[in-house]
Amino acid sequence: MSTTSTISVRAQAQLAKGNPVALAGVAALALVGFLTGGVLAAAVIVFALFGTPLFTILGGSSMFAFLMAHKVEEQFVRNIAGDILDDVRFLGSPVLITIPLFTFVGYVMAESKTPDRIVRASQAFFGWMPGGLAIVCIVASAFFTALTGGSGVTIVAIGGLLYPALRKQGYSDSFSLGLITTGGSLGLLLPPSLPILVYSLIARVDMNKTFRVGLVPGIMVMVFLAIYAAFVGIREGVKREPFVAKEAASALWMIKWELLIPVVILGGLGSGLTNLEESAALAALYTFAIEVFIYKDLEIRKDLPRIAKSSMALAGAVILILSMANALVSYLIDHSIPKKAFDAMTHLGIVNLNDPSKSWQFLLILNVFLLVLGMVMDGFSAIIVAVPLIIPFAAAVKMEPFHLAMIFLLNLEVAYCAPPLGLNLFISSFRFNRPVVSLYKVVVPFLVILTAALMLVTYVPSISTFSVAKEVHAERAKAEAAPTPEDKYRILRDTWLLECVQEDSTNPQPCSKEDSEAYPHGQMPVIEDPNAPKAPSEEDLMKDFGE
């Protein structure tokens, strides 16, 4: 499914059939856009829902917005190039190099026999458990999605292998379809997930820490689903496969080379031997080498040109959308659009900075907004469009940056499976030749589980932040032990980036009341030298003048 359009094929198919839900959705979203942002916002929503490529919507909106600016000096199309060519904000970001490299890794793995080896290894190790084969599906889907970054690829590759096996072992058709459809969105929180890379670029947060933070929520979701799978396995009387040590060892040996891919990426980053771009390049080279020269699943002349062309087309589309989104974000920030929207929410009582007990209202609205957006956009588009809009709100309420990241990405997992326009529903409908409406019911139990996990992550921030809490405390202690006030201030600026969301990462603001009082507006207070000569007062000047 291309990232250059939003719901494109999905929405157009529903609208062509006169689907009342789709028609009502278009009308409602257009009305909301008109009421909140005027004609331009309404037009953007309508064009997006009818499949207009996202980069044209973002680029065209940027040009239109600048040309209609109130100040004459801003009415130039060249203004959209500002942040695109900025080394700090966009052009110099290492993520732009890693996107095509990790996309290439995913395509190489999807075109090889890696899915078969993943399924075999998972079956050997989990097949003896209650609901063993279903747990195999969960683990294999999460692992494959983390490496490829695409739910569609996972459903086609892993789902196509496991659906017949699930049915043959005795699982009901509804459970099997629901599990495979849901499995397509697992793994978005696990490294080296491409959505995490894109999110880190847009939100300007530390990618390495986001990878680490995502492990706990990602594994928690898998555990919840595994418990449900075990319950269904017992309820439906599904037979278990005995654990055979020889088969487990053989399957593990077969997949040993793929298991080293995360080690290559995370090992280099964690040890400091490689930076992000170098780890991505090593992963691409390593994956290519094992699939071509060790497993010999692919041929250089026959397969490499096709895989490279497909993967670079996707990577190019993502980067093009990112550049156009950066231009639009520049306009929104320059004209304080997010601040005006936040002030309106505060005026309506939706957000109250002076009443922490009402923070749940903001979090609930945030989840609803992200869920709706994730249903009508593919994952990359949702990240690119929504993150710049919610960052100012999250900064105003002092949300922790990694907490926001986990809420956002987990919302994508839920939205992929949510009726009526969840991406996974359409891919499963196509892959297994089922009416998309028939899948709405089968995903409900899984949606309940994913939503419960989302609520936990949303309202228990420590699930997302405890893995970086020690670093924050260490930075605080380092700041207190700093030899000079200037050194303390410099260290605290880095600490604020970890403690709360920053609207402008180049000008971090204090997160606590104490720091805000000590460093007004995030600036070092001016300390007067008592020995410095004082400037003459106005009274003294008048006396001198009179004399």
Residue 352: predicted pLDDT: 60
Of 8-17, 236-245, 390-399, the poorest mean pLDDT is in: 8-17
456-514 pLDDT tens trace: 999 999 998 888 888 888 888 998 888 888 888 989 998 999 999 988 888 899 988 88
As a residue count, the chain comes to 547
Residue 1: predicted pLDDT: 40
Please report which confidence band the pLDDT of residue 185 belongs to, taking 50, 70 and 90 as the band edges. Answer: confident
Which one has a higher pLDDT value, 245 or 360? 245
What percent of the chain clears pLDDT 90, i.e. is strictly above it?
A: 17
CA dihedral 111→113→118→120, nearest 10 degrees, is 150
The SS3 call for residue 502 is coil
Residue 353 is given by DSSP the state T
Reading the block at residue 518, the tokens are 């000590």
Nearest one of 327, 343, 355, 285 to 108, comparing CA atoms: 285
pLDDT tops 50 at residue 30:
no
Could you tell me the pTM of the whole model? 0.69
3-state SS record for 421-482: CCHHHHHHHHHHCCCCCHHHHHCHHHHHHHHHHHHHHHHCCHHHHHHHHHHHHHHHHHHHCC
Which one has a higher pLDDT value, 27 or 476? 476
Domain range annotation of the chain: 95-312, 470-547
Please report which confidence band the pLDDT of residue 76 belongs to, taking 50, 70 and 90 as the band edges. Answer: low
Question: Rounded to whole angstroms, how far apart are CA atoms 26 and 45?
Answer: 8
**Phi/psi of residue 507, each to 5°?**
-135, 70
291-331 pLDDT tens trace: 999 999 999 988 999 989 888 887 777 677 667 766 666 66
CB 454 within 8 A of CB 370: no
